[in-house]
A and B are shown apart, each in its own frame.
Chain A
Amino acid sequence: MGLTTYVEAIREGIREEMSTDERVFVLGEDVAVYGGAFKVTAGMLEEFGENRVIDTPISESGIVATAIGAAMMGMRPVAEMQFADFISCAFDQITNFAAKCRYRWGAGVPIVVRGPSGGGIHGGPFHSQNPEMYFVHTPGLKVVCPATAYDAKGLIKAAIRDPDPVIFFEHKFLYRRVKEELPGADYVVPLGEAEVRRAGSDISVITYGAMVFRALDAAKELEREGIDLEVIDLRSLLPWDRHTVLESVKKTNKVILLHEATRTGGFAGELAAVIAEEAFEHLDGPIRRITAPDTPVPYSPPMEEFFLPQVSDVVRVARELNDY
């Protein structure tokens, strides 16, 4: 069996769920005839027909509202946002409606809203954002950010099977850059479980999405200096895996929190608070954050490179923390 890319893994995951569960269908802008802007849904129209692969008007609010209605009627819709940046148009439907139905009257809304997020492809301020924190702040939602092909497939399948709304952020930088051999058998990756990507003893780097690979590259570089990084891939941000994070902190006693989203109100803040609350006496140095600065994502390539956390940033902060 050959290597499967991240984008193919998501496609396979959706296809498998559509094949085994006739309630599952996809909808979004250009998902049918064109096969999606990033070709996630390529070939699905031919395989499942126009009743289960639906092109919609350009209205994210309408797409999500349609999905919610279908979910309430017993379906399992998978709605695509052409870019995750545009999910803000559907913000009210997601946060005020889908997220609160279970709480208000016990109605599950089993929708998946998925779309490509993240920078590094010179997409500029409207095609590169990481909008996960808007949704992490909303009780009632689940938020997922896979980094590998295996996880992308396992998590999209878990998201489709989940009885509640799941926001699924794919990282577009990874679509065709990461690939691996996937098991032939059916599997899911449970929501809310982190993965130790690299075990290490000196510093824990807690991260998710494309930054997982920055952390792993930094770890390789630092290995030569005798600094042993542990890299934790959160995979899910809501709910998130406190146990794995705290155990890692208790082991290494030093922490770097790394994410591509901007700094203020980023997930690192929440992680730092919980670590300080629950593992304070295990800290041997300050909790350090490496994030994008508080600006829109720049269009200019050198500016974007400056904006995004780089391997060199992780190396520098890890050295500082090691010497602390």
Chain B
Amino acid sequence: MSEIKVIMPQMGESIFEGTITKWLKSVGDPVERDEPLFEISTDKIDSEIPSPASGVLKRVLFDVDAVVEINTVVAYIESSDSAESDDSAPVEEHASDPAAAADAPESPPSVGRAGTSTSEIASSPMVRRLAKEHGIDLAALDGKGTGADGRITKRDIMSYIEQQGEEIHPAADSPDDDERIPMTAMRKSIADHMVQSRRTSAHVATVFEVDGSRIMAARDAMKADFERSGAKLTYTPFFVHAVAAALKKFPMLNASVDGDEIVQKGHVNIGVAVALDDGLLVPVIRDADRAGLLDLARSIADLSARARTRTLLPEEVRGGTFTITNPGIFGGLYGIPIINQPQVAILAVGGIEKRPVVIDDAISIRPMAYLALSFDHRIIDGAVADQFMSEVKGRLQGWKS
């Protein structure tokens, strides 16, 4: 008999914490190996987590609604399986689990997070709230507290904020009609992710204009056939198809940066951003370069539908090597997107609109769309990015059905 650790698994790249939404077993309950033990909700998916071993649930370390960092022990199971009596074995096992060993960058932002250092500095709930609201690491005030035993008081942090030149409204003056809405797990993740990306990559953008006549014609010709086989044909599969082929030709855009090395990816996995009411998800089409238009149409329809009902599987939201986002559906001319780390480029597809264009010195009406590419100038030069875009444009304008 031994105690087996139950670990909060990593449910996808760039997910560093999950919320325990339900314990399916109570302390003292027997549990079988692989039997669902608890439910978690991360910013991307909700999932049942199976028990790593057979035995009795002995201790539960986190209550429902607790937000737990990945790879943290959340419970102990008293094992009835002698083969697993080595205490470290199940942990090892979990580490080699594909979920835990996802190809995520090895630098979770939790390391060195302000909270870690502040927990040892005496303050108060109010001081901690103000620090959070103003993005202050309380370590900056360590040793400067004027309260009992050097405690950081309201006055200390308020004067610190004033010194920093930030405008601060004393709590007493905070207007009653302001509403404070706590961020959801997804919102926080998006916020962190976006800022982290801005800090990481050297964002540069290039915008191309594409004549959509051929893909429009192709879509109209194929629409009925596709519908008969159960797939709704939008323009997105065309863009994914063209981008996937162009990425094969320009692998520098299908890459990531690891320290001083450029990692060119062996697969072309294209993420397609899906807007939700309270955020967005990016389901991934694996090996998009090997799929036909019908397959692409089907998987895009399926993944977006399940993104909206939040029933995607963990592996369906990770492992992307390039992202396409579609601001055009709401009428935007073009948008300059932020790169989805650890990728190095992202394409924003504007809406297709009829515009007057000059062709052979004549003005003609054509369905046009702007394509905007954000790329990481650390590894992609402007010439390469433009060649890639030119390839995408050529494939779309010269579409052969």
Residues of A within 8 A of B (CB): 201, 250-253, 280-285, 323-324
Return the chain A residue nearest B157 by Cβ. A284
Is B127 interfacial (CB 8 A cutoff)?
yes
- B127–A284 CB distance below 8 A: yes
Count chain B CB atoms within 10 A of each CB in A201, A285, A323 and give the residue with the most: A285
Report, as a range, how many residues of chain B touch the other chain.
10 to 19
Return the chain A residue nearest B126 by Cβ. A284
Return the chain B residue nearest A276 by Cβ. B125
- B126–A281 CB distance below 8 A: yes
Task: Find chain B residues with CB under 8 A from A284 CB.
Answer: 124-127, 153-154
- B154–A253 CB distance below 8 A: yes
Q: Interface residues of B: mostly helix, strand, loop or mixed? A: helix
**In the bound complex, CA of A283 to CA of B172 (Å):** 13
Residues of B within 8 A of A (CB): 124-129, 147-148, 151, 153-154, 171-172, 174
CB contact under 8 A between A251 and B171, given known A284-B154, A324-B147:
yes
Task: Find chain B residues with CB under 8 A from A253 CB.
Answer: 124, 126, 154, 171
Shortest Cβ distance from A245 into chain B, in angstroms? 15
Task: Find chain B residues with CB under 8 A from A281 CB.
Answer: 125-126, 128-129
- A201–B172 CB distance below 8 A: yes
CB contact under 8 A between A323 and B148, given known A283-B124, A284-B124, A285-B124:
yes
The 10 closest A-B pairs by CB, nearest first: A281-B129, A284-B154, A251-B172, A284-B126, A284-B124, A281-B125, A283-B125, A280-B125, A253-B126, A324-B148
Task: Find chain A residues with CB under 8 A from B174 CB.
Answer: 250
Q: A284-B124, A324-B148 are in contact. List 15 more A-B contacts (CB 8 A).
A: A250-B172, A251-B171, A251-B172, A252-B172, A253-B126, A281-B125, A281-B128, A282-B125, A282-B171, A284-B125, A284-B126, A284-B127, A323-B147, A324-B147, A324-B153
Shortest Cβ distance from A145 into chain B, in angstroms? 28
Task: Find chain B residues with CB under 8 A from A323 CB.
Answer: 147-148
Task: Find chain A residues with CB under 8 A from B128 CB.
Answer: 281
Return the chain A residue nearest B171 by Cβ. A250
Count chain B CB atoms within 10 A of each CB in A201, A251, A284 and give the residue with the most: A284
Task: Find chain A residues with CB under 8 A from B151 CB.
Answer: 324
Shortest Cβ distance from A225 into chain B, in angstroms? 15
Return the chain B residue nearest A285 by Cβ. B124
- B148–A283 CB distance below 8 A: no
**In the bound complex, CA of A285 to CA of B125 (Å):** 8
**In the bound complex, CA of A324 to CA of B127 (Å):** 13
- B126–A282 CB distance below 8 A: yes
**In the bound complex, CA of A324 to CA of B152 (Å):** 9
Shortest Cβ distance from A144 into chain B, in angstroms? 28
**In the bound complex, CA of A252 to CA of B153 (Å):** 12
Return the chain B residue nearest A281 by Cβ. B129
Count chain A CB atoms within 10 A of each CB in B126, B127, B151 and give the residue with the most: B126
Shortest Cβ distance from B145 into chain A, in angstroms? 11
Task: Find chain A residues with CB under 8 A from B126 CB.
Answer: 253, 281-284
Shortest Cβ distance from A306 into chain B, in angstroms? 27
Shortest Cβ distance from B144 into chain A, in angstroms? 16
**In the bound complex, CA of A253 to CA of B171 (Å):** 9
Task: Find chain B residues with CB under 8 A from A201 CB.
Answer: 172
What are 5 of the A-B contact pairs (CB < 8 Å)? A201-B172, A281-B125, A282-B125, A283-B124, A324-B148
Return the chain A residue nearest B127 by Cβ. A284
**In the bound complex, CA of A284 to CA of B172 (Å):** 14
Task: Find chain A residues with CB under 8 A from B172 CB.
Answer: 201, 250-252
Task: Find chain A residues with CB under 8 A from B125 CB.
Answer: 280-284
Task: Find chain B residues with CB under 8 A from A285 CB.
Answer: 124
**In the bound complex, CA of A253 to CA of B172 (Å):** 9
Shortest Cβ distance from B65 into chain A, in angstroms? 15
